[in-house]
Structure 1
Amino acid sequence: MRTANIGRRTAAGAVAVALGTAGLVVVPDGAARAGGLAPVRVEEVSESDDSATKIVVAECTGARSVFAAGARVVDGDGGVVLTAMVPNSALTHVTVSATARTGFEGDWSLMAFAVCDTSTSPPVRAATTVESASTAEVSCPDQTHLVGTGFRFEGSVDQTYVDEVAFGPGLGGVRAHTGGAEPESLTAFGVCKEPTQPTGPPGVRVEASSAYDGTWPKVAVTEDPDPDQHVYGIGASVVGSGEFFLSALVPSLNLRLAGAEAVQASQLPAAAVGAGRAGVADAGADEDGDGSVTVSGLLMAAFH
């Protein structure tokens, strides 16, 4: 019997972050810095094994709060679904969870990321939950703007998966979307704060997209920004004709780049049988359809 693995260990050294073979490769060039206390990325990773569900927590320490979140499934191969990337209400940590689809038995691991920073105007968390719906949208409170994203869904991972975590219009909130069957519940989270500067935009949105074709997994990485700006919130979306879902939303170690990975649902006959919906859980693998992933990074200068 496979049991939950709640793993926490800090990744050591200046190891490159790689998503897939084409992937996001980031070699750190030192601490991100633009005056004041620089933002930092905290990373936690579970053990690699065949546990059915894994939960990982990345915690900000000292005076720093969670400004943004990230997550990544490693070696899931389309058989493991991200179910949550949640900044807690006190903004002290980020919890990431994922569950293997029925029939997937390979070893995999899970990573959680927190972008930690300080500000004279501390961030706050906003959340909206919907029942039996595929889209949840949350708006930032008055006078605040988006700095980080998050989501959580409840339901069968054999039938449901997250294919979009998007910035709202004017950086005013977050939209989360699931593909497949409607989940039991879906929550969109936004980390929001008042701009420190009274004038100028609260942040700059940058995007990058993968090729649109039938080759999976897909990886998209933003370009290196101005040296006085850092990546905070990350959004991503998958488009195409098939069963595709997000498997990673990752800020680079030096907070210079934003990366996202999307995978095609692996062909797991047991998942379709277990769900009673033959052809739903593994339709993407049969279709081998075209698609692409787009990543969005929210750039902000210190201090924002």
Structure 2
Amino acid sequence: MAVKYTWCRRGTVSTLALIMVAGTVGTVGPARAAGPDSRVAAPVRISVTSATNSLASKSVVVNCPAGQRVHGAGGEITGGGGNVTLDDITPSLTLTTVLVTGVENGAYAGNWNVTGYAICGVDTLNLQRVHFTGPANSVTPKSVFAGCPSGLRLYGLGAELNGASGNVFLDDLTPNAALTGATLTGYENGAFAGNWSVTGFAICGNPSANMVRQAVTSAAASPVAASVTTAACPAGTRVHGVGAELNGALGGVVIDDLRPNVGLPTSTATGAENGAFAGNWTVTAYAICSA
């Protein structure tokens, strides 16, 4: 059943019809009753970086170690200068890998690479990947909400642009404050006649002790690029998932960096203007912290 919402984007006067479309839920490992789980081991960050060259599209696959599962996912473009967008940050259905893709927006002669990040941990959380795909058309912007099943909480998230071919930018990968789901939004970069859609991913599991969302927003300005890092996770917790949100960018800025940092104390998000953009915009970084 399709459920329609009206959602107001921060910093804009337009409203956005948010379509939630039934998606596929995958469960890894034996189901257990929801509730705090004291057996959650500290996660680790795994990364893979592509070759550096001027190919128009590059993908990497990050594999979790044997016996571990994906708790969260991220990606980073290096050398793109705002001309390359993250097109896929996709945890696999089995939560064993993460696919990250970067795509050039038009012709770009520079050399660049893409890095994929997987936050991997032991499989003791009744982890599930939930995904929702919105309608395929030429309407901009589009959002989907990927919500966790009742009683479970959000550990990580991801998004995928379908049919965008570098002409649509991920604008929001936003975990909600209650950690029950995430909003994923795409904006066309200028006029794009093609049909495209957004798929949002939520990685959900049994609630763990001290789960909290950290968020920090950069200063309002019109910079060429802006980067911001969250406050450190509370004592006894680490980053399990990361998110980013562009505010006021309206398709003129790419998310260049969505990165869990080494040791998983914080996350960093970076926005980079795609050519000249006169508007003021900010970037918000999110970290999902858990024991």
What is the TM-score of this pair, normalised by structure 1?
Answer: 0.76
Q: SS where residue 142 of structure 1 aligns? A: coil
Quote the Cα distance in structure 2 between the aligned partners of 1:223 and 1:195.
Answer: 22
1:248 partnered with 2:257: yes
Distance in 2 (alpha carbons) for counterparts of 1:244 and 1:74:
15
Report the Cα distance in structure 1 between the residues aligned to 2:69 and 2:123, rounded to whole angstroms: 9
Identify unmatched segments of 5+ residues in structure 2: 1-37
Asked if structure 2 preserves the Cα contact closer than 8 Å seen for 1:237 and 1:293, the reply is yes
Letter in 2 for 1:256: P
* Residue in structure 2 matching 1:51, options 47, 50, 55: 55
Q: 2:127 aligns with which of 96, 114, 123?
A: 123
- Establish whether residue 77 from structure 1 lines up as the match of residue 81 from structure 2: yes
**Deviations, residues 172-203 of structure 1 (Å, cap 9, x unaligned):** 11110011258511100000001256xxx5x1
Q: Which residue of 1 aligns with 2:282?
A: 292
Which residue identity is paired with 2:127?
Answer: P
**Kept after mapping to 2: 8 A contact 1:151/1:188:** yes
Pairing of 1:94-113 with structure 2 (within 5 A): 94-113=98-117
Provide the TM-score with structure 2 as the length reference.
Answer: 0.79
> 1:177 matched to which residue of 2?
185
- Superimposed CA distance per residue, residues 79-120 of structure 1 (whole angstroms, 9 cap, x where no aligned partner): 101101000000001000111111211100000000010143
- Give the AA of the match of 2:84: V
- Which structure has more strand as a fraction of its residues? 2
Q: Distance in 2 between matches of 1:183 and 1:40?
A: 38
Q: Give the residue type in structure 1 aligned to 2:242.
A: I
- Match among 192, 195, 206 for residue 204 of structure 2: 192
Identity of aligned residues (%): 25
Quote how far apart the aligned CAs of 1:241 are. Answer: 5.2
Question: Counterpart amino acid of 1:297?
Answer: A
Query: C-alpha distance in 2, partners of 1:183/1:216?
Result: 29
Structure 1: gaps spanning 5 or more residues = 1-33, 267-284
Q: How many corresponding residue pairs? A: 245
Which residue of 2 is the match for residue 22 of structure 1? none
User: Are the counterparts in 1 of residues 100 and 115 from structure 2 also a CA contact under 8 Å?
Assistant: yes
Instruction: Give runs of aligned pairs for residues 1-304 of structure 1, distance below 5 A.
Output: 37-131=41-135, 132=137, 134-168=142-176, 170-180=178-188, 184-196=196-208, 203-240=211-248, 243-266=252-275, 285=276, 287-301=277-291
Q: Displacement, 1:35?
A: 8.6
Q: Distance in 1 between matches of 2:124 and 2:51?
A: 37
Q: Cα RMSD over matched residues?
A: 1.9
Q: Please list the CA deviations of residues 143-166 of structure 1 after superposition, one character each: whole Å capped at 9, or x if unmatched.
A: 211000000012334531111101
